[in-house]
A and B are shown apart, each in its own frame.
Chain A
């Protein structure tokens, strides 16, 4: 086999809709002996022992107990993106396998997307585009209006790296910024973005024109925004979700939108992804959905690949692992 000296790393496949990008594969092949799932399955007994790391690109290959049992020399799983809610961390730990993610590379792109969704939803950009290109349009009505972002109140739920970057951007739009977080940030950090801490999420929900969700998905944040929270929001408010679909009670959201309890929603994440094609969220006029593109830029994906490579190399050399995910 080509490159036998290089450590063997399992990937799902190269190219196509789900695979590692061709240009990324070139980079990886200079450092690793890449084995695709297809190759592995065709020669399990020989290749199983050689695989020392898994390069998990967008949740593939799927890791289950059967796979872990067949890879006795597996040391590390490098997972793309920030979220690790798709991994059974306990299971991996029980096999002595370390895990890494790429939390920081995604943060600026995700913050940018949060801003993009807030602006698009508020100014009715997608609707406007449809009007601009529709075969039936004869003129643009003068009384067709959106809501202003500049000077409005933004409530950020989850002020981690991504939430803070959103605050930095929103400040330039002269927005009033409220935030809710497990811990209050220090005074300098708050002052730098003009953010006011809301210990109670209710206070944030009642005042915000825009509610932006930037929390991690944990048992505590599961369905954090439900019927009660939606009813606390202003009827003119817009909910923006760049965290995980499960942070929002989707059924409650549908009801709230149908009854105009809130004005609109912009969701980069849903549960599941994609939504079933007959889901009511797909039919509501005031919902903007994007296909989980929070970190979807050429540059960021290159950075992710580089970070994952670093983590694998450190893991195999027994060195401290950058971006290690600890239980």
Chain B
């Protein structure tokens, strides 16, 4: 007998541990759903297959493939924790009549904050500085350790969606000159509010920026968007910050560019894969900061993501319009 039998079944990968739904969120989820973990589902597939009406993906798990979709006849909706959907086969899922949702509102502030954190940390050599400050043997002199200025520098934002725009709002307060490149140009008022100048050609942005911030979705068009050619267009004093997806940057080209001084430094919240293999050259370069996909890793953002997911799932199950439905394009 399962608790809350009247509630619709929500399939999750697991609860707690390294990859599971956060313990803090369970109570909230159980108010609306009967929680079924993959382990429980696999142990009792015959009984549970008809109960599952929704799936809540947490960090891309459980993996959604044809087998799983075929075994869930009453599945109506899949909600993703986060905004990127590049790990899902949207057409396949749609072909089963299953709706999809992401969580765009929850992620934008905390991801924009991550972008700014990385930009500042790289410019001012925070990680290096920390090691100098705490190292047992090293003598240092404050006069000798220099970074580059953020205030008044030029920031080039590639991808001006809601996250990119929030970055522009923050950068403006640092009196940064803001250039942006996007598939479509933003409205004049939006540009003026942040003092952003549109660069129809990506090259124009790359030549002028002191900091290049990559904030696009991963699509076939943005795969390896920043490669050898793009990095060579950048200033040798420029910093590349990636908070989008690892695959948007050509990692091999980045290693060479950093080693040979083609660009000054890089700060990466995302890589391909995550984590990188432990012998990857990026891990050894002094002018790279890598963070473990911090983007939305705050109590507040994760809670909002779950709330957004629940909103979308409940809307789908009751046949109402979903706040953030994602359609296969």
A, B: real partners: yes
- 20 cross-chain CB contacts under 8 A: A108-B175, A112-B124, A115-B120, A116-B121, A123-B114, A125-B294, A128-B294, A129-B289, A143-B16, A145-B299, A277-B136, A290-B130, A290-B133, A291-B133, A291-B142, A293-B125, A293-B142, A296-B145, A297-B147, A298-B146
CB distance from B126 to the nearest CB of A (A): 6
- Give, as a whole number of angstroms, the nearest-CB distance from B125 to chain A: 7
Using A119-B116, A123-B298, A293-B129 as known contacts, say yes or no to A174 and B109 having CB atoms under 8 A apart: yes
Q: Which residues of B lie under 8 Å from residue A174 when comparing CB positions?
A: 109
Q: Which of B59, B152, B283, B297 contacts A146 (CB 8 A)?
A: B297
B67 at the interface (CB under 8 A from A): no
A86 within 8 A of B: no
Interface string of A102-140 (1 = CB under 8 A from B): 000000110111011101100111101101110101111
New A-B pairs, 18, CB < 8 Å, besides A126-B127, A140-B293: A108-B175, A115-B116, A115-B174, A116-B123, A117-B126, A119-B117, A120-B117, A120-B126, A123-B294, A125-B121, A141-B19, A142-B18, A151-B300, A172-B173, A174-B109, A282-B134, A290-B130, A300-B149
Residues of chain B with a CB closer than 8 A to A119's CB? 113, 116-117, 120-121
In the bound assembly, the distance between CA atoms of A123 and B275 in angstroms comes to 18
Whether A132 pairs with B278 at a CB distance below 8 angstroms is no
Q: Please tell me which one of the listed residues A120, A171, A291, A298 contacts residue B121 in the complex, with CB atoms under 8 A apart.
A: A120
A146 to chain B, nearest CB (A): 5
In the assembled complex, B301 has its CB within 8 A of some CB on chain A: yes
Closest to B22 in A: A143
In the complex, the answer to whether B141 meets A58 with C-beta atoms within 8 Å is yes
Q: How many residues of A contact B (CB 8 A)?
A: 64
User: Contact partner of B297 among A144, A282, A291, A296, CB < 8 A?
Assistant: A144
Residues of A near B120 (CB, < 8 A) are 112-113, 115-116, 119-120
- Give, as a whole number of angstroms, the nearest-CB distance from A107 to chain B: 9
Asked if B274 lies at the interface with its beta carbon under 8 angstroms from chain A, I say yes
Which residues on A sit within 8 Å (CB–CB) of B129?
290-291, 293
Question: B185: CB under 8 A from chain A?
Answer: no
> Contact partner of B300 among A115, A120, A148, A290, CB < 8 A?
A148
CB-CB under 8 A from A149, the residues of chain B are: 113
B148 interface residue, CB < 8 Å from A? yes
A171 interface neighbour in B19, B141, B173, Cβ under 8 Å: B173
Report the minimum CB–CB distance from A114 to chain B (whole Å): 10
Kindly state whether residue A218 has any CB partner on chain B within 8 Å: no
For A150, what are the chain B residues with a Cβ–Cβ distance below 8 Å?
109-110, 112-113
Query: B169 an interface residue at 8 Å Cβ cutoff?
Result: yes
Q: Which residues of B contact A228 (CB under 8 A)?
A: none
CA distance in complex: A169, B116 (Å)? 11
Nearest-Cβ distance from residue A15 to partner chain B, whole angstroms: 10
* A173 on the B face (CB < 8 A): yes
Residues in chain A near residue B59, CB distance under 8 A: 142
Q: Flag whether B71 is at the interface (Cβ < 8 A).
A: no
Within the complex, what minimum Cβ distance (angstroms) separates A278 from chain B? 9
Asked whether B298 lies within 8 Å of A147 as measured between CB atoms, the reply is yes
* Residues of chain A within 8 A of B113, CB atoms compared: 119, 123, 148-150, 173
Residue of B170, B299, B301 near A173 (CB, 8 A) is: B170
B20: interface (CB < 8 Å): yes
Q: How far is the CB of B271 from chain A (nearest CB, A)?
A: 8
- Nearest B residue to A147 via CB reads B298
Report the nearest A residue to B117, measured CB to CB. Answer: A119
Which residues of the other chain, B, contact A116 by a CB distance below 8 angstroms? 117, 120-121, 123-124, 126
A57 touching B292 in the complex, CB below 8 Å, given contacts A109-B149, A142-B58:
no
B297 CB contacts on chain A under 8 angstroms: 123, 144-146
> Are A291 and B145 interface neighbours, CB within 8 A?
yes
Distance A111 CA – B281 CA, assembled complex (angstroms): 34
Q: Is B197 an interface residue (CB 8 A)?
A: no
Is B85 located at the chain interface by the 8 A CB criterion? no
B297's closest neighbor in chain A, by CB?
Answer: A145
Residue ID in chain A nearest B114 by CB atoms: A123
For the complex, give the distance between the alpha carbons of A207 and B276 in Å.
40
Closest 5 CB pairs of A and B: A172-B173, A116-B120, A119-B117, A150-B109, A58-B143
Q: Let me know if A274 is at the binding interface, CB within 8 A.
A: yes
The residue in chain A whose Cβ has the minimal distance to the Cβ of B237 is A298
Which of B123, B136, B140, B299 is close to A291, meaning CB atoms less than 8 Å apart? B140
Known: A123-B117, A125-B117, A298-B146. A145 touches B126 (CB 8 A): no
A140, A144, A147, A292: the one contacting B275 at CB < 8 Å is A140
Complex contact A112–B150 (CB within 8 A): yes
> Which chain B positions have C-beta within 8 A of A300?
149
Supposing A128-B291, A141-B18, A145-B299 touch, asked if A151 and B109 sit within 8 A by C-beta, the answer is yes
Residues in chain B near residue A112, CB distance under 8 A: 120, 123-124, 149-151, 174
Nearest A residue to B304 by beta-carbon distance? Answer: A148
Chain A 160-187 against B: per-residue CB contact (8 Å), 1 yes, 0 no? 0000000011111110000000000000
CA distance A151 to B274 in the complex (A): 29
Per-residue contact bits, chain B 141-176, to A (CB 8 Å; 1 contact, 0 not): 111111111111000000000000000011011110
CB distance from A296 to the nearest CB of B (A): 5
Chain A residues with CB under 8 A of B175: 108
CB distance from A270 to the nearest CB of B (A): 8
Known: A137-B275, A145-B302. Is A274-B133 also a contact (CB below 8 A)?
Answer: yes
Given contacts A116-B117, A123-B117, contact A132 B124 (CB under 8 A): no
For the complex formed, measure the closest distance between the CB of A136 and the CB atoms of chain B, giving whole angstroms. Answer: 8
Smallest CB separation, B48 vs chain A (Å)? 24
Contacts known (A126-B127, A140-B293); A296 close to B169, Cβ less than 8 A: no
- B93, CB-defined interface residue at 8 Å: no
